[in-house]
């Protein structure tokens, strides 16, 4: 099947893209093997990390909100998340205006589920803690995420932080799942970019909307998979990633949270009862530098 990712179209198995994101369920109980794979590949895909029903409860709460706003197709099944063609939903994977989703009880419950905390305690070798803030994305058809590393958004504490991206519902390739450029977490040329901080430097954070350019320049290959509710992909702060375009007629709903050792320093923007979050990035009156200007500074 063909997928779209910004200006590129790929066929699974071509030079730039495949659907071979590898599951690590077979080594789930072998912590040294998990750590070695995370270091080598930059990510771990765990099928059914969470109980599917818990994830679907969170999905239901979000869809009830969407339904109450008239965002779902008239007469469609709530859990299918089909868009109402008459509703012009903002076409974004962004989270700027969606506190209401992230604070829903069943959505909050996902972050500290025992299966997840046990996994991170073992992986990190001590008591783990999530950021108190987490990101919920309701991506309408047409939405896609630009290519970036997470470190520039949340790099003020320890660098041993891991993103845990989870589909809140089944997410097929046409719904715009996350896509990782496997290998890029080791790209030496990105070092300067990785020292950026969107709130301090007033930069956009993303690096490119051209996935072909990324592979040609930094190596690696784009990889994703068909996701099911309950699955999770864990990745480091450096690996380049984005999301495929949602070319379906349904909302792509997902949540991403961050985990680290409780004993290590936290990025103060994302912890506490009401995390302050980004205080400059995309705030009114703040002009962010163009990506072209930032790239020139980073030697890219």
Ligand X SMILES: O=C(O)CCC(=O)C(=O)O
CA distance 265 to 261: 9
Which residue number, 71 or 164, has a Cβ lying nearer to Fe ion? Answer: 164
Min separation Cβ 29 and ligand X, Å: 26
Is the CB of 76 or the CB of 271 nearer to ligand X?
Answer: 271
Q: Are 190 and 238 in contact (CB under 8 A)?
A: yes
Interface with Fe ion: number of residues (CB under 5 A): 1
Which string of x and - marks every residue 101-140 that binds Fe ion (by CB under 5 A)? ----------------------------------------
| Smallest separation (angstroms) from ligand X to the CB of 35 | 21
CB of 135 to Fe ion, least distance (A): 9
CB of residue 145 to Fe ion, shortest distance in Å? 7
- Minimum CB distance to Fe ion, residue 33 (Å): 25
Give me the least distance between CB of 297 and ligand X, in Å please: 22
Work out how close the CB of 95 gets to Fe ion at its nearest, in angstroms, rounded to a whole number.
Answer: 11
Minimum CB distance to ligand X, residue 30 (Å): 26
Q: Which residues pair with 167 in a beta bridge?
A: 254
Which of 278, 252, 281, 273 lies closest to 108, judged by CA? Answer: 273
Nearer CB in complex with Fe ion: 122/186? 186
User: Which of Fe ion, ligand X, none interacts with 137 (beta carbon under 5 to 8 A by kind)?
Assistant: ligand X
Residue closer to ligand X, measured from CB, 138 or 215: 138
With CB under 5 to 8 Å by kind, the binding choice for 93 among ligand X, Fe ion, none is ligand X
Out of ligand X, Fe ion, none, what residue 95 binds, judged by CB under 5 to 8 A for its kind, is none
Q: Which residues bind ligand X (CB under 6 A)?
A: 93, 137, 145, 150, 163, 165, 178, 241, 243, 254, 256
Cβ-based neighbours of 204, under 8 Å, separated by 6 or more: 198, 288, 289, 290, 291, 294
Cβ neighbors of 256 (< 8 A, separation 6 or more) are 134, 135, 137, 163, 164, 165, 166
Which of the listed partners (Fe ion, ligand X, none) does 63 bind, with a CB threshold of 5 to 8 Å by partner kind? none
150 binds Fe ion (CB under 5 A): yes
178 binds, among Fe ion, ligand X, none (CB under 5 to 8 A by kind): ligand X
Closer to ligand X by Cβ: residue 176 or 183: 176
Interaction between residue 41 and Fe ion (CB under 5 A): no
State how beta strands 17-18 and 221-223 pair.
parallel
Both ends of the chain: CA-CA distance in Å? Answer: 32
Tell me: does residue 197 bind Fe ion (CB under 5 A). no
Radius of gyration (Cα) for the chain, nearest Å?
Answer: 18
Contacts with Fe ion, residue ranges (CB under 5 A): 150
């Amino acid at each position: 099947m063909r997928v779209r990712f910004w200006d590129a179209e790929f066929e699974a198995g071509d030079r730039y893209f495949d659907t071979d994101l590898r599951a690590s369920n077979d080594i789930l109980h072998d912590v040294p093997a998990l750590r070695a794979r995370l270091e080598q590949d930059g990510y771990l895909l765990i099928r059914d990390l969470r109980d599917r029903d818990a994830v679907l409860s969170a999905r239901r709460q979000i869809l009830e909100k969407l339904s109450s706003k008239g965002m779902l197709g008239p007469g469609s099944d709530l859990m299918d998340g089909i868009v109402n063609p008459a509703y012009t939903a903002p076409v974004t994977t962004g989270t700027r205006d969606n506190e209401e989703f992230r604070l829903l009880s069943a959505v909050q419950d996902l972050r500290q589920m025992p299966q997840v905390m046990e996994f991170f305690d073992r992986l990190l070798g001590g008591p783990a803690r999530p950021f108190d803030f987490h990101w919920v994305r309701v991506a309408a058809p047409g939405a896609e995420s630009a290519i970036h590393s997470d470190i520039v958004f949340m790099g003020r504490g320890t660098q041993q932080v891991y993103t845990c991206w989870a589909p809140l519902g089944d997410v097929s390739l046409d719904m715009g799942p996350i896509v990782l450029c496997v290998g890029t977490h080791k790209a030496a040329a990105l070092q300067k970019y990785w020292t950026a901080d969107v709130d301090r430097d007033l930069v956009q954070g993303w690096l490119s909307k051209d996935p072909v350019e990324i592979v040609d320049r930094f190596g690696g290959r784009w990889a994703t998979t068909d996701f099911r509710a309950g699955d999770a992909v864990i990745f480091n702060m450096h690996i380049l990633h984005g999301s495929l375009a949602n070319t379906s007629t349904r909302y792509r709903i997902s949540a991403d949270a961050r985990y680290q050792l409780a004993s290590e320093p936290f990025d103060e923007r994302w912890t506490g009862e009401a995390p302050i979050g980004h205080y400059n990035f995309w705030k009114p009156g703040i002009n962010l530098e163009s990506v072209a200007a930032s790239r020139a500074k980073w030697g890219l």
